[in-house]
Amino acid sequence: MSGAATTASAGEHGAFPVAERGRLGYQVDAVDAFLERARHTYDEAQSGSTPVTAAEIRQLAFPLKKRGYSARFVDAAMDRLEEVFYERERRTRMQQIGDDAWWAEVGQLLREVRGRLDRPRGKRFQLRGVFASGYRRSQVDAFLDRVSAMFAGTDQLTTVEVRGVVFHSQWRGYNEDQVDALLDSVIELLLATR
């Protein structure tokens, strides 16, 4: 019964179900505005504005509010949207520089990621200052061991798993920006090699 009520609420609000009572969701206006921008970019109907890119979709963070869109449904849609935009960007880039040059770029990105993964556990990224917190080193290292295993062919990861990974914080943890940038590169490699 509650699922039917949630779906009915989605019809009243827009494209996604509303977050359950007592939970925060993504601000409806922000999600709708972004989807409209993405639609215009995809249709190439809007000139003169900043086009949406796969990287922007990957790094997107919507504001939270009561009775907003359910994050689970919006996140799943953003994952699919990123894949569509990435594929389109990949085809355009391959037409511009050729298949061999594009694969050379992918190879360079892979070498950069592997260089970071090959560093010793606990030393893969800069540590935050004495009075600052960052991502818990043991959790990041454990996840990056899975990424290494994936590259070695002994484990599998999906883009959804990489996007959804959550690390707790600790004093003198890993620099979040560096970790996030590496995870973005891993997602790009996964998308590139589908």
Q: For residue range 98-148, list pLDDT tens digits in order.
A: 999 999 999 999 999 999 999 999 999 999 988 899 999 999 999 999 999
Three-class SS of the chain: CHHHHHHHHHHHHCCCCECCCCCEEECHHHHHHHHHHHHHHHHCCCCCCCCCCHHHHHHCCCCEEECCECHHHHHHHHHHHHHHHHHHHHHHHHHHHCHHHHHHHHHHHHHHHHHHHCCCCCCCCCECCCCCEEECHHHHHHHHHHHHHHHHCCCCCCHHHHHHCCCCEEECCECHHHHHHHHHHHHHHHHHCC
Per-residue confidence at 4, pLDDT binned at 50, 70, 90?
Answer: very low
- Residue 50's pLDDT band, with cuts at 50, 70 and 90, is confident
Per-residue pLDDT band for 11 (boundaries 50, 70, 90) equals very low
pLDDT level of residue 1 (50, 70, 90 thresholds):
very low
Asked if the model's pLDDT at residue 97 lies above 70, the reply is yes
Sketch the domain layout of the chain as residue ranges: 2-95, 120-192
Tens digit of each residue's pLDDT (9 = 90 or more) over 158-176 = 888 898 899 999 999 999 9
The whole-number pLDDT of residue 186 equals 95
Reply yes or no on whether the pLDDT at 10 is more than 50.
Answer: no
User: What pLDDT is recorded for position 49?
Assistant: 67
pLDDT at 38 over 60: yes
pTM above 0.85, yes or no: no
Q: What is the mean pLDDT of residues 30-44?
A: 89
Bigger pLDDT: 39 vs 46: 39
pLDDT at 166: 92
Mean pLDDT of the chain: 87
How high is the pLDDT of residue 94? 93
